[in-house]
Every structure is written in structure tokens, then in C-alpha cells.
Structure 1
Amino acid sequence: MDEHTGDRGAVMGPGPDPGELIVGRDAVRARLFRAADSVPADRVLMLVGDAGAGKSTLLEHAVRRAEAGGARVLRAEGSESESSLAFSGLHQLLRPVLAEVDGLPGRQRDALRDAFGTGPATSGPDPMLVGVAVLSLLSGLGDHRPVLVVLDDAQWFDRASLDALSFAARRLEGEPVRMLIGARDGDRLPGFDRHVPTLALGPLDNAAAHRLLDLQPKSPTGHTRSRILDQAGGNPLALVELTRAASAQQTAAGLPSAGPLPLTAHLERIFAARLSGLPASTTRALLLLAAMDSADSAIAGSAGLPRAEDPAWLPAGQAGLVRRTGRHVRFRHPLVRSAVYHAASPDAQRAAHLALAEMLRDEPDRRAWHLAAACPHPDAAVSAELERTAGRARRRGGHAAAAQALQRAAELAPRREDSARLLVEAAAAAVFTGDLARVEELVAAARMRTDDAALLASAAVQAGRLAVLTVRHTVVFSRLADAAAKSAVSQPAAALDLLADAAVVRFYCGEDTQRHRIQDILRRLPENTSHPGLRTWVRAVSDPFADRARLVSSLPRLAAGAEDRPERLTAVGIMAWLLDETAQAVRAFDEAFDRWELQGALPEGLGGAVAWAYVERGRWEQARQACARTIAVGRAAGLDHAVACAATVDATLSAFQGDASSARTRAEEALALIDPLESRSVAVYAHRALGAAAAAEGAYESAYGQLRLVFTADGAPVHYHASYPALADLTAAAVRCGRHEEAALIVERSASALADNASPRLRALISRARGLLAGPEEAEAHFRAALADPVLEYWPFERAQTLLDLAEWLRRRRRIAEARGPLTEALEIFRRLSARPWIERARAESRAAGLDVTDAGPDALAELSPQQQQIVRLAARGLTNREIGEKLFLSPRTVGSHLYRSFPKLGITARSQLRDLIEGPLATAAHRG
């Protein structure tokens, strides 16, 4: 919701001095005050406007309001020069409460320390774990009193800090924590771009501008007043400062004679004019402060700046350039800093940076940037310093900061080959920010500096790694395939890497012409190119049913070779899932995650396979955890496609567990994030989820309509892998709404297309579909065939559906005694999975078969939301609220709130009763196999 205030008033003065008066902006101020008062309204609120619109003043008033009400205020100001230092903004914000970090759970505490450079940082902090730590810390502070987080000039916060803070901001529901953000209008703020209520401070209208001028100590009149109104353009800061300039000279001669000039140029000229006549000590102090512009006052003090009480600052304060806040001195506005800095000569600027670099020998990252700012020409030593800074940033998870440092290192590298190498490394770091345009810009810069085929191929691989996670599948596939074809002879290993990414895009897109292109390039690559698993990956991902038996036979060997490489073991798991070797896939994922907590700032290519494998294996709690992580990571990086992939899995689980409304919301969100022609896999998964949601409500016509979209008009699969598992569900809906013939054509066409390459799972689904379509005499054989292979126990939900179909058929044939066994087994599986619609259907059928089906404890779980079920199951295993929150990316308070609301529905009063409720006789099969 955007609020463009109609009662545009003004803000007195450019700096938030305690006695400063706000004129107008009543609606904005009231809404900020509601947040400061912790009124249940906006948990996160963004205030945007041009420089000088009054954002800082309004935020300062909100801070004083909150403090007067007893709230704990944490605040940080963005700094342009510190935007390249990973986690500097977060460190500034949390410095007053760093002692509280010791009370966090071990992994969260270590992640936060690693982020701040005070931990071992062996492999870099998990960005999501840093976000959980921030959320837990804010939640814990809220146990004592309300907390207000204020971020000013947020457009200059470093990316790592923004990622952690936006992660926490999206999870503040139910917390006594509010967040106010001030940012320049038009500047992108990663993580806060969507769904954040925004107040926009536009220019003042003519009446409000006159009111502001009337309130100035020396209100301008006549022609001077008209000039000021004209050139200020409704900007409150410009109105005040132009008035002060005119008043100081008792004439308008100091104002620009022709105009209007750009506003920033106006103000810089006005502020710069105040520098004339200042003592040399004051000018030097101002330039040092401008060159550092550090919100980190402790470091600024130790760097040799005069203390706040030093007489050197007095003339600057009298000139309206700085303000004293407690023990510190700060510029009254970023434009003052800009004016001071740019008014100095290049030699003076370099001297200031060199002086700061000398003072900051204990701060190697800041020192490196000051040395770089003092470099007018390439310098190998400074370039190396920045490269080391990038390495430290990467180890702390600051990928954006690393990319920025490497890019600057490349600019300062004297040798073109070193410059190109550094740009490729910068692109590799930028991949983890999710900013594809930035990656492509760095890759393009590298291409301009080198003809090295290996380096250029590496650059293409880096761009491709991120490109596969975007929604631009058709364009991305062409680029990857063209680059792979170009490198096939000179750089076959790089070509295979590119082809591996192209195969992922082929999976997402589902376009059949892409399969032919991949096969053509693969034939041109030597058999011994790179590690053997990569070639198998390309074939399995791009066409899993073409030579399934051979691909399946290679999995054990690849798994054995990946034992010490969790990322390769994960790839083996993905291939196993694609080949419907779900049990092997889950084992691979379990083994990989035991050694490797999915570190990294991006979801892996085909990362949704992990969640789908857990769904199919009946481990729905872990599937939801995988979805939560992918959604969190994808949103932080701005990767809509990754979010959409995970949302469809989550939607499917919600439908299976009877939460049709949530299922529809999630599926529709996924469809809104992608183009269905570009992302056929996501579109198919979304329609499968919508079909399952309709079936859960008994709306079989609607269910069939959604599932019919999974196949083309002539019955071919829309997607070569994602469509086939819907065959049985489509048939089940079809027979309930009179679409037998159409469903039969689709089933038989799919069976013919798969032929001998169909997996045992797909053969079982086809047999179930044929059983549903068959006449009274033929159905049993099909159902029995669908249940015959013992391996089918690895898909418990699908097996339970078939058992229920068989039992219904048997009961209708009056073979009631035979129906009871399948019914009992099906009901047990549905209960364990909390598949509420299926529990109800199986219980109704069981009663019709004369079985005594009383309400069992685990059935009470069906009354809970899917998220509450996850929390209850984890709590039953003995996990604390903090540990549960860490797994599900929630705050401990949110976890506790869910448990509090769940207990009455479960008929219990204490946490100690959960274990007996959940781990009763029906839960013994929960992790069988």
C-alpha cells in the first residue's frame, strides 16, 4: 500500500535536532507513531523520498516517541563508503546488544560472529542462519520491552545486511518488534521491494512551501522568496538552506542566477560556499570525516578525528555543516558530506584517504578501500589488498561486498590478464547475490580485457550458474547452448559445465527442441570430459526416460564416488529422483545433509527435487523444511523462479493435508511469478496442486479441469517429467465427472510413450489409472498389479491411494472381509501423513466395511494447519522453540504462539504430552525404509 499524502506539509530544517518542528505530514507522522507505539498495524514501514524530503527528521521523531513509551530502539544509518563492507550495517545496528548474542543457540551465535568477523569463518556463515539469528535476537529483546528498529539511508546498506534484515522483517508477525526504514525514492532495496507498506514523501505543494518559509527565522520576501520557491522545487531542505544562504548574504546574489539547476548541484554549491573562511584545522577535520563518512563512530574516533568537544568543530557547527549527537559529530545531511568532499582538490582528497588508511591499520578492509580511493593510476599492491579484502568478505558470506572489491581490484590491476581474472572472480561472487544483470556486466567487462578461451569459458559458466535460476529460460538456454557449442573443441570441460546448466533450463522449460540441441552438443564432446557424473547428469536431467536402465545402473557408482563431496552426492540424489529411484534419492540427500547443511546463498539448480523426493517418500515434514529454506533464499536473492518451484511443492502438501485454501494461494502465487510457456515444469506442478486442492473438497469437475491442463489437447504430456505422476489423479477425477474416454486416451498415450522405459512407480500409477477406468471384471487385476512390486512401498501416499481404490472396489463386489486389510493399511498411512481428506474418505469406507474406526490421537493433528503440524511434531521430538525456529525459519515466539493455539485442538495441556500423542502405535512407520 502506497500513501501519497495529500496534506503535504514540511519539515523544519535538514537535521533531526531535538527541538526540530514538523509542519504538516500529519498522515505520515501519525502512521509512523502508530508503528513506534507498537500498535498492531504495520510491522515494517518504509519511508521514501528525495534527498531533503524530511525522512530523517520524521524517523527521529518516531524514535523519540518510541523511547518515551519505553521501547528499546536499535538504529543504524547507511553509509555510502561502507556499502562495500559485508555486514557493516547489521554490525552497527546490533552493536549495543552484542552481549545478547552469547545467549543465542550455538549455531546462530557462531553464524552471527562469523558474519561480524569475530568467529572462525571456516566456510562462511549460512546467510539464512544469520537471518534466523537476527530474528531470534530481536524476538528475545522483545521479551523485556517493545523493540523499534530504525534504518535510515537504507539505500546505502551493504547487501549482506539487507538480506539478513529483510529475512527477519518478513517474520515479525506476532513479535513486539517494529521496523522503520528510510530510503531514497527510486533506489532499489533488495529484500524490501515487495509487499512492504510504503509512505512516499513528495514535493511540498505551493501552500505548504510558503508555510515553511514563513516559519524561518528570517522569512524571505519579494523576488528572493519567488526565486527560492522556484529553485527549491518543493524540497523542504532546499527551501530551508536557500533561505539561510540568502539571509546570510542579505541578498539573493549568492543564489544561482539562472535556473533551475539540478537540486543536488544547488545544495552542494550552497554548502560548499560555507567552507570558505573556515580554519584549516576545521577544513581538515571535515575532509577526513567526509572521506570516511563512517557511521561507526568508535572507529572514526580511533582513526584520529578530533573529538566532538574539540574546538575544530565549532566553526563547522556554526556554519550549519555538522551537528553533534552525544559524543559524536555527524554531517547534518549526506549532501553536506558530498559538498565537503567534492570541494576539495583531488590531491587533498587523496591525502585524506592516505591519512585514514594509515590510521586504520587495524581495520584491513577499510584500509584497503581508502588506499584504493587514493589511487589515481593502476597499482598492483593495492589491487592485491582489495583481493584479500574480497576473500575475507566471501568467507563471511558477503558476496556482494566481495564482488565490489574484486571489481575495483580489477580496475587497479596493471596487467590486463590479471584484470580479466579478477572480473571473472567478481562475477563468480556476484552470482550469489542473485543479480543477473550485475553478473552479465562483469562478464562483459572480462571479455573486453582478454582473449583467453579458458577464462572466457569460465566467465560464461559463472553467468550460466545464476541464469538457470531465473525465469528467462528460452533466452538463457540459447546463450548456454551457444556458449557450450563454441567451447566444445577448445574447452570441452567448460562446455560440459555449460551443458549441465542448459539441461537444468531444459527441465524447467520443458521445450522438446532443447533436448535435441543438448544431445547434438553432447555427442561432440569427448567421453572422458570432466568427471563422469556430469555427462550422466546432462542425460538424466534432459531426458530421464530415454535410457533409464543404463542411467539407473550408474547411480551406485556415482554415489560411491561422491561420498566425500556432499554437493556431488546431492546431484546424485537429484538424478535418482528424476529416474524415480526415490528411496535412493532420499538416502543420498540424508547422507549429504549430515555432512553439509546446504551452505550457500543460492538454491541449487533443480533444488526443488529435494522437497519432491521427501514428499514422495512420505517425509512431509522435511519436505516443508526444504521448501521454507528455498523460499527464504529465493526471496532474499530476488529469484522468483526458485520461490515458485518451492511454492508448488508446499501447495501440493497443503492440498494433501486438507488445507485447500492455502494450497490455492500458494499455487496461484507460483503461477503469478512465472510465464507458463517459459516454465512448463512449474506450471504443471501448480496445476497438479490446484487439482489436488479441488479433489480434497470433492470438486471433481474442477479437479479434472486443472489436471487436464497438465496434458496437451491431444493428450501428450505438457512436461516430459512433471506431467506423468498426475495420470492416476487425473483419472480418479475423470471417473467421478464422466470423462472416462478422454482420460483413457491420455493414459494409453502416456503408457505407449514410456513403454519399457517406465519406472516401477509410473507403471504402478498407470495400472491404478487403468483399474479406475476398467469394467467390473477387469479392475482388480490392474489394482493388484499396481500393488505387486514391494518397491512401491517407497511411495506410501500413492500406495495408500491405490489400496483405498482396491478396497472400495472389493466392498462394492461385497467382498467385505477382503477389503478390510487394504483399508486398515491405507488408513494407517493417511493418518501418519495427516492427509485429512484421505483420512475422512478411508474412515467412511472402513465404517461401511464394518470396521470399528474410533478417533485416534494422531487424527487430532488434522485439525491443525500444516505449519502447526510441523511445529508439533518437532516439539514432540524434544526440540526447543529456538531449535524449531531455526529449522523452520521462525522466531521462538512465533513457534510458542503456534504451540499455544495447538494444545486445545489436540486435547492436551502440556508439552510433555506431545510425545505420547504423536509417537503412538500409528507413528512407528513414520521413517520406515
Structure 2
Amino acid sequence: MGEHTGDLGAVTGPEPDPGEPFVGRDAELGRLFRAVEPASADPVMMLVGAMGMGKSVLLDRAVRRAEANGARVLRAEGSESEANLTFSALHQLLRPLPAEVVDGLPEGQRTAIRDAFGTGPATHRRTSAPDQLLIGVAVLSLLSALGDRQPVLMVLDDAQWFDRASLDALLFVARRLEGERVTMLIAARDGDHLARFDRHMPTLVLEPLDDAAANRLLDRQPKSPTGRTRARILDQAGGNPLALVELARAATARDAATGLPSAGPLPLTDHLERIFAARLDGLPAGTTRALLLLAAMDSVDSPVAVTAGLPDAEGDAWLPAERAGLVRRTGRDVRFRHPLVRSAVYHAASAGARREAHLTLAELLRDEPDRRAWHLAAACPGPDAAVSAELERTADRARRRGGHAAAAKALQRAAELAPRREDSARLLVRAASAAVFTGDLAWVEELTAAARARTDDPSLLASAAVQAGRLAVLTLRHTTVFSWLTDAAEAWADSEPAAALELLGDAAVARFYSGEDAQRRRIQDILGRLPEDASSAGLRTWVRAVSDPFGDRDEFVSLLPRLAAEAEARPERLTTVGIMAWLLDETPQAVRAFDRAFDRWELQGALPEGLGGAVAWAYAERGRWDQAREACARITAVGRAAGLGHAAACAATVEATVLAYQGDAPAARARADEALALIDPLESRSVAVYARRALGAAAAAEGAYETAYDQLRLAFTADGAPVHYHASFPLLADLAAAAVRCGRREDAAGTVEHCARALGDTASPRLRALVSRARGLLAHPEDAEPYFRSALADPVLEHWPFERAQTLLDLAEWLRRRRRIAEARAPLTDALETFRRLGARPWIERARAESRAAGLDVTDTPPDALAALSPQQQQIIRLAARGLTNREIGERLFLSPRTVGSHLYRSFPKLGVTARSQLRDLIDGALASAGHRE
């Protein structure tokens, strides 16, 4: 589909002269040429325009330029008929690569690629989908390895028809090509599908030709139209180059008065399709049959073309079609000149002829069950139980390969063909379950509505509601979604209480994101109507803990060990337990649950779970900042791939906070601003508060305490109440620290006391310590010490090392200012060691300055060498010091091995090392000198 000779900017005859300039497209061609130059600043370029605007020929010119520069070109062309086949576009792109290139991948990546293509030895036995992100990393590794040999150009044409699994993998790669010798050109039609592309991707939009360019294009045609005919063509084409060429061709093929379609409201493509269809008149029967078979088959069906009865490409049967401008022959290959030609040939045939063509192909594709099933479905004039069953099996195979969109489409078509309404409803609910993992809420809602229209079965209807709710909770419309979920839960409370409880579990997540207090009461009211039994105890606890974690905190904490033991063999339930533990400020238990879950769990599909950001927050609070950023990378990748901006926003706030703690304030602000741009702060109070926390930390790291206070104060209302019932409280101590440095002590004290009263006796030890620290900072100097001592009294607070080190530093500063210098030295030493271990650069400098003022001999130690590196470089150095290869580091951080190597190359001189083997000694020596092990 990529070599569309009709999709021209300006050509004369069927084959454009490579040296001839485009009419009206010089600027666009120049920009594409710059994009494929070796030193291009844009590794990715989107080419967008309506059908016929010249996208494919522009790509062809760019390909020739890249090949002349020594690039290796990989090309994939979307096909409407292949959009349902999992990883078909990715397979087309990578198929030319020799087997040894894939064999050179690490085992996990190699297995992921082979499973995706259905060639893995155990693909048919898999019960879980391959890791979508690992597939993306594998493709990135392949391209990076190729780029080490020669420049690589990827050309993705008609990307609007790529299957979803391929598109997700390729867009994952597109966001990580900086520094690689790889360029990606993506051509797609404009329309709603563009929402799936990154909005920040450089985009070249092909607009209609202006009148002058359109006239020049007509002048170049073999028989340039004139007079009234030219005026009609210009009016009808509307600046579309393909329309200008084809209407001119039609006008000269017969009398202009009859050769052109009449003016009317039909879209331009319909007019063009009529033009192509008119050229079928008078063709020999053998040619017509060959054209229809070619139109009915997928491009990947071409190996069966000869046995399907298609004439050889060099046979005379194709000559009439070629003369009519319908096909192009290149060697042994026959292609339609444009997608509209294929569409015209297919739809001009009778229903019976189309059915016969698909049945012929299905018979020849017995060894390709998925393609065979779709051809059988296309041949069905009405319901067919056998074909419906074939499609259901196709869906199962697609799901095992991670193709959730393909599985949902197959199940949707199977439902259409199912003779019994009950079976149709069941298949639609299954389709909705698969579609959930695509992130396409509108599609899930469409499928569930169709299921409701086909059945009165309460269990099926309730299941449909649960599927829709599972995805809806991850969108940005928290208020609307909460109302929908609770209304549905209330409706099913009596007849399907289990489904009602699941819906309420999702509603609790929506309540967490929105932070609206009235929603807590609504949840409690509905929960009170549902029966209590042992099987629902865990989910009931989840609903209560998520919607109101401090209401019955002691009870929830006492249940955690039992819930964790019961979930030991169920990693997804362990994750749920971990999230509850994090909400309750039982961070050590949360991290243990997450660690055990990730040791046992291959991620199921690409959808982030509700409150998935809790994983990253728990690791961040525990001082495992590298793992927190790894979790953020995964959440960001899957959130973007699924079109779930809220998930990406959650991850951005955690990473922004860690970046601020590490001293990279500009990067922290950029990530926090990105999060705020993705959400409505009134709809998602939790993310808004997290973003303010990060922005406040970034400002504090730079010593801009007035700005820090203003940002942190936005996490509380004008009268000092928390904006969010969970996210606001951890900011109290930082708010107080900023307040004392910018003269806002009185306002901050009112906020701290308001929140302390709101927490009452329900506060966790961590929050009690933070409130005590805040009170110590804000108190009169003579009254501060008991508050600082109270904030450090509980040994459990060591599990929040950064917060504890901040309090130690506050206490030490207070002691030194009271001239109790000897007492200040121990907490100063402890705080400095912790800050060094964490890599908290701004706090290291502050603790050093205080230590020198206290008479301590503070010398630069190896950890400070890392201070010259960016947080990402520090992360890479630490992983390399643990013995991970570039590829293994890339898998963890979703980077290519080449990018990892580039960071290491730039970091070694700053660290004073020349070999990878020295990194472990550098890191271990630094930790030993600090008195800690990492």
C-alpha cells in the first residue's frame, strides 16, 4: 500500500522522475530530506494528510535520499484488512532482518519478539500475554544494534491501519530514539486516530495545493485539460493532488461531460472511487476475477497468489488493468495503484463474487488459522456458529500474544456471527474484557452497550458493567466515572452483590483520585447494603481503606498480615495488599508485598492497575529511588501506550519529586508541569497535590523558599484544610520548613494545626512524626526541642530515611544555634550519611555546610563524584556497578543499549574511572566511607 503512484504531488505519467521536483511540495520534501540526514535533530517525523495528498510519494523520495546516504531502510505499510492481526505491521517491518540479528538479543527480549510473532516454541501453551514493554525494548535493541552498523530509516506508511499491538511497540520506540542512528518517518491520514500518537511528535501536515500549484500540476498531465473541464476539475479536486491527476485522466479517457462525476455532497474519496470503478467496465472476465482476488487478499497472503488462481505478474491478464491505471507491475509483484483502487474493485463486485473470493482464500490458508478465520467471516452472509467459533479461537491466540485489540475485534465479529443472542452477549462481554487493555473507553462502552442489548442475564450484564468500570476508573473524568460506578453498584447491590462490590472497588479508586469528600459517604452507604461474607472480606477492606484510610486505620493494619498471607500465591492480590499498606503508611509492608509480587508476576497486558503509582511512591519513601524511577518508567510507558494520560501523570509526579530530591530541579519542574497539563486539578486532586509537592521540593532544592511555600500551600485550602484526604498530609513538614525561611510562620502554623486536628488519633506514626517536625520548626526556639525529639523517637521512622534525615538535620541546626555543638554532631553525621547514600545533592550540601559550622572534618567522599551526573546517569552507574549489562539496564529503564552506553561514556571521565570494573569499587567504597551498605 505504500507505493501509491496515484498519491502524487506532481508527476507526469505512471512513474515519477526521481529528479523532478514536486509541485507545491518543495518545502515538505526539503524538511523530509533534512529529517533523514545523518545529523538530523528530529529522529521522528509525522507526515499527516488526507488520502491523495502525496504522503507515500514523499516517503519514496525520502527513502531514495536515505539509501543514497548509506541508510538501511525498513518499511511497513498499513492495511485495513490486517489491522485485526496482532503484530502484523511489526512483523512486516522486521521480517527482512536476518535471523542472527534477533538471535543476538538477550533471552528475554528474544523470547518476547518470537512470542509476539507466534514463532516461539511455547507460544501456544502460554496462559499470559508477553510483556508489551519488553517487546518494545526488544525492538529498540534491534534497531540500536542495526544503527551501530549503519544509519537506519524506518518508514511507517498508512499507519492509521497498523494493528494496535504493533503501533504501541513502535510508538514506545519512537519516544526513545534520541542519540540513536535511527530515524522514523510515520505517514498517516488525519483524523481521530491521531490521538494515539504523541502530541509532541514533530508533524508535517500536507495541506491542499493552492490554485497556482494545482494549475501547474494539471499542465504537466499528458493531455492537460482546458476550459470548462479544467474549471470543473479544479473545483472538484479541492487541491488534492491525487484527485487532480485522476480527474484529469478520467476527463481525457472519454467525453468530459460524462467522464467526470457530477457535483454533489459526496466526499471526494467516494467520487474518486467511482472513477476507478468505472475503469472496470469492459475488462476481460479473467482480469476482473484476478483483480477481485487481489483486492480480497491481505498483502501477507501473496505467497498463495499463484495457487489462488491469480495470473503470474508477467501474464497478459494484467495488461488491461495496467492500461486502465488500476495496477502497477514491478517484476513479479502486482500492486494496486492506490488503496481507493482496491476499495473500488472490491465494492464494485457483487456480494456473491466477493464471498467466492474469500472462500477461495480461506481454503488455501488452512495453515494460517487466524487469516483463514477472517476470510471465512468476510464470506459470511449471515450468522454462522462455526465461523464464530473460529474467530473466538483466533481471539484466544491473539490474547496469548498480547494482542488485546485484535482479540477484542475478533470477539466482536464472532458476536455478530453468533446465531444465539446469549452467545453473542457472552462474546461481547469477553470482547469488552479484552478491549479494556487497549485503553479505548469508548470502545469498551460500545461493546458493553451491545451486550446489554442482547441479553437479560443478570450475571452477564453485571460482568459487562464491571469491565467498563475497570477501565473508566483510569480515565480523567473522575467525577462522572464515580457517579456511573456507584449508580451501577447500587443497581446491582441486591441481585449481583459480588459485581456491585467490584464496581464499588473501582469507585473507591475514583474517589482517591478526585479527593471529593461527599464520595466517601456515598461509598459507605452502598457498602452498607452489601452482604458480608468471607469471600468478599478482602475486597470490602480494599473499598474501605482506599476511600478512607485513616477512618479505621488500626483495624486495617491488623488485617494486613493475614491478607498478605492469603495473597501469597496471587501476585495481583499481593499488589493490592501492597497498595493498601502504602495508603496506611505501612510502607515497609508495602515494599515487601511489591517485591514478592514482582518476583512472581509477569504483567498481564498493558493496562496500569488502579493506584499503580502507589508502587513508585512506596519505593521513593523507602529510599529506593532507582526502583521508584524504574516503576515510573513502566507506568509512563504503559499509560501512554494505552492512551491513559492520568496514569502517565501519576508517574510524572513521583519522578518529579525524586528528581527534586536528587537536585535536578529543572527536570523536576518539567515533569511536574507535564503532569499538571495532563489533568484537571479539580477532577484529580491527588495528582495536583503530588505535582505541587514536587514543585515545592524543586524550589526548596534551589533555595527559593518563597516559591516553595507558595507551591506547597496549594495542597491546602485557604483555611488550612487538606485539599486531598491522603496526599496533602505528607507535605506539612516541608511546608513548615519553607515557611520559617520566607517569613510565613503564622500561616503555616494555622495549616499544620488544622490538619493535626483533622487527623486526630488516627494518624500513622509517620504522620505524627511529620506533624511533630513541623511544630518544632514553627515553634518558638525555646520550645522546639521536644517536638524534634518526638519526631525521631519511634525506631520505625527509619523506614522513611529521607524524612528522618531531614528531621535530624533540623534538630542539629537547632542544637548548634543553641551552642550545643557537641550534641549536634551525631545527628549531623547521621543525616549527612543518609543524604549521601540517597544521592540527595541539595541536602548533602546543606548538611556539609552545617557540619563544617559544627567543627566536623567534612571531606569530599566518593559519593560526591556522582553529584556531577544527572539522576538518570547516577541510576545507570549504580546498575552497571551491580554487574548489569547495557542491555539489562536498558530493559529496566526502557532505554536502548546504545543510549545506556552513551551515558556511561559521558559519565566515566566525571567519575575518574576508565573501566566498568571500577564502578563497583567506587560505589562500595563510597558507601563504606559513609558507614552504610547500599
Q: Spell out the pairing of 1:285-324 with structure 2 (5 A cutoff).
A: 285-294=290-299, 297-298=302-303, 300=305, 305-324=310-329
Amino acid at match of 1:164: A
Name the structure 2 match of 1:743.
748
Name the structure 1 match of 2:94.
94
What are the Cα deviations for residues 512-550 of structure 1, in whole angstroms up to 9, with x where unaligned? 000001111111111117442111111110101011111
Q: Secondary structure at the match of 1:736?
A: helix
Amino acid at match of 1:64: R
Name the structure 2 match of 1:441.
446
Q: Distance in 2 between matches of 1:912 and 1:553?
A: 47
What are the Cα deviations for residues 290-327 of structure 1, in whole angstroms up to 9, with x where unaligned? 01142564455565533322332222222211112343
Q: 1:864 aligns with which of 869, 872, 876?
A: 869
- Whether the aligned pair in 2 keeps the contact of 1:559 and 1:569 (CA below 8 Å) is yes
Name the structure 1 match of 2:66.
66
TM-score by length of 1: 0.97
- Of 195-204 and 460-469, deviating more is 195-204
Name the structure 2 match of 1:5.
none
TM-score by length of 2: 0.96
Q: Spell out the pairing of 1:395-410 with structure 2 (5 A cutoff).
A: 395-410=400-415
Q: 1:919 aligns with which of 908, 911, 924?
A: 924
- Of 216-225 and 482-491, deviating more is 216-225
Q: 1:177 aligns with which of 171, 182, 191?
A: 182
Q: Distance in 1 between matches of 2:750 and 2:302?
A: 74
1:330 aligns with 2:308: no
Q: 1:717 aligns with which of 711, 719, 722?
A: 722
Q: Residue 250 of structure 1: CA displacement?
A: 5.5
Amino acid at match of 2:43: R
Q: Distance in 2 between matches of 1:793 and 1:16?
A: 72
Q: Residue 452 of structure 1: CA displacement?
A: 1.3
- Whether the aligned pair in 1 keeps the contact of 2:9 and 2:241 (CA below 8 Å) is no
Residue-pair matches, total: 922
Amino acid at match of 1:619: R
Amino acid at match of 1:117: G
Q: 2:656 aligns with which of 651, 655, 663?
A: 651
- Whether the aligned pair in 1 keeps the contact of 2:376 and 2:387 (CA below 8 Å) is yes
Residues 219 and 131 of structure 1: CA distance in aligned 2, closer, same or farther (over 3 Å): same
Amino acid at match of 1:105: P
Q: Residue 23 of structure 1: CA displacement?
A: 2.8
Q: Distance in 1 between matches of 2:213 and 2:149?
A: 42
Name the structure 2 match of 1:752.
757
Amino acid at match of 1:731: A
1:540 aligns with 2:545: yes
Q: Secondary structure at the match of 1:10?
A: coil
Q: Secondary structure at the match of 1:920?
A: helix
Q: Residue 438 of structure 1: CA displacement?
A: 0.8
Q: Distance in 2 between matches of 1:194 and 1:300?
A: 40
Q: Percent same amino acid among aligned pairs?
A: 81
1:706 aligns with 2:707: no
Q: Distance in 2 between matches of 1:642 and 1:911?
A: 36
1:249 aligns with 2:254: yes
- Whether the aligned pair in 1 keeps the contact of 2:632 and 2:652 (CA below 8 Å) is yes
Residues 891 and 303 of structure 1: CA distance in aligned 2, closer, same or farther (over 3 Å): farther
Q: Secondary structure at the match of 1:282?
A: helix
Name the structure 2 match of 1:110.
111
What are the Cα deviations for residues 5-43 of structure 1, in whole angstroms up to 9, with x where unaligned? xxx963556776868763331111111111222332321
Amino acid at match of 1:874: L
Residues 14 and 773 of structure 1: CA distance in aligned 2, closer, same or farther (over 3 Å): farther
1:151 aligns with 2:152: no
Name the structure 1 match of 2:399.
394
Q: Spell out the pairing of 1:10-25 with structure 2 (5 A cutoff).
A: 10-12=10-12, 22-25=22-25
Name the structure 2 match of 1:51.
51
- Of 218-227 and 363-372, deviating more is 218-227
Residues 925 and 509 of structure 1: CA distance in aligned 2, closer, same or farther (over 3 Å): farther
Name the structure 2 match of 1:805.
810
Query: Please, which runs of 5 or more residues in structure 2 have no aligned partner?
Result: 1-7
Q: Residue 82 of structure 1: CA displacement?
A: 0.5
- Of 385-394 and 909-918, deviating more is 909-918
- Whether the aligned pair in 1 keeps the contact of 2:83 and 2:163 (CA below 8 Å) is yes
1:841 aligns with 2:846: yes
Q: Distance in 1 between matches of 2:932 and 2:526?
A: 42
Amino acid at match of 1:469: L
Q: Secondary structure at the match of 2:782?
A: coil
Q: Distance in 1 between matches of 2:253 and 2:684?
A: 64
Name the structure 1 match of 2:491.
486
Name the structure 1 match of 2:500.
495
Q: Secondary structure at the match of 1:275?
A: coil
- Whether the aligned pair in 2 keeps the contact of 1:117 and 1:396 (CA below 8 Å) is yes
Amino acid at match of 1:280: A
Name the structure 2 match of 1:3.
none
1:582 aligns with 2:587: yes
- Whether the aligned pair in 1 keeps the contact of 2:656 and 2:672 (CA below 8 Å) is yes
Q: Distance in 2 between matches of 1:907 and 1:855?
A: 14
- Of 498-507 and 901-910, deviating more is 901-910
Residues 652 and 296 of structure 1: CA distance in aligned 2, closer, same or farther (over 3 Å): farther
Name the structure 1 match of 2:27.
27
Residues 880 and 569 of structure 1: CA distance in aligned 2, closer, same or farther (over 3 Å): same
1:281 aligns with 2:282: no
What are the Cα deviations for residues 618-677 of structure 1, in whole angstroms up to 9, with x where unaligned? 000000000000011111111111011010001101111111111111111111111111
Q: Secondary structure at the match of 2:742?
A: coil
What are the Cα deviations for residues 872-913 of structure 1, in whole angstroms up to 9, with x where unaligned? 110111111111111000011111111111112212222111
Q: Spell out the pairing of 1:179-218 with structure 2 (5 A cutoff).
A: 179-189=184-194, 191-218=196-223
Q: 2:796 aligns with which of 780, 791, 807?
A: 791
Amino acid at match of 1:107: G
Q: Distance in 2 between matches of 1:874 and 1:801?
A: 26
Amino acid at match of 1:89: A
Q: Distance in 2 between matches of 1:162 and 1:668?
A: 27
Name the structure 1 match of 2:5.
none
- Of 203-212 and 757-766, deviating more is 203-212
Residues 562 and 167 of structure 1: CA distance in aligned 2, closer, same or farther (over 3 Å): same
Q: Residue 390 of structure 1: CA displacement?
A: 0.7
Q: Spell out the pairing of 1:459-858 with structure 2 (5 A cutoff).
A: 459-528=464-533, 530-858=535-863
Amino acid at match of 1:24: G
Q: Secondary structure at the match of 2:70?
A: coil
- Whether the aligned pair in 2 keeps the contact of 1:10 and 1:204 (CA below 8 Å) is no
Residues 902 and 191 of structure 1: CA distance in aligned 2, closer, same or farther (over 3 Å): farther
Q: Residue 329 of structure 1: CA displacement?
A: 1.1
TM-align CA RMSD: 1.8
Q: Distance in 2 between matches of 1:13 and 1:22?
A: 14
- Whether the aligned pair in 2 keeps the contact of 1:317 and 1:323 (CA below 8 Å) is yes
Name the structure 2 match of 1:4.
none
- Whether the aligned pair in 2 keeps the contact of 1:356 and 1:370 (CA below 8 Å) is yes
Q: Residue 790 of structure 1: CA displacement?
A: 1.0
Q: Distance in 1 between matches of 2:16 and 2:37?
A: 20
- Whether the aligned pair in 1 keeps the contact of 2:279 and 2:324 (CA below 8 Å) is yes
Amino acid at match of 1:749: H
- Of 155-164 and 180-189, deviating more is 180-189
Q: Secondary structure at the match of 2:193?
A: coil
Q: Distance in 2 between matches of 1:15 and 1:496?
A: 64
Q: Residue 227 of structure 1: CA displacement?
A: 2.5
Residues 237 and 836 of structure 1: CA distance in aligned 2, closer, same or farther (over 3 Å): same
Q: Residue 263 of structure 1: CA displacement?
A: 1.8
- Of 712-721 and 253-262, deviating more is 253-262
- Of 186-195 and 58-67, deviating more is 186-195
Q: Distance in 2 between matches of 1:780 and 1:242?
A: 87
What are the Cα deviations for residues 715-743 of structure 1, in whole angstroms up to 9, with x where unaligned? 11111111111111111111112222222
Q: Residue 244 of structure 1: CA displacement?
A: 1.8
Residues 357 and 18 of structure 1: CA distance in aligned 2, closer, same or farther (over 3 Å): farther
- Whether the aligned pair in 2 keeps the contact of 1:77 and 1:295 (CA below 8 Å) is no
Name the structure 2 match of 1:901.
906
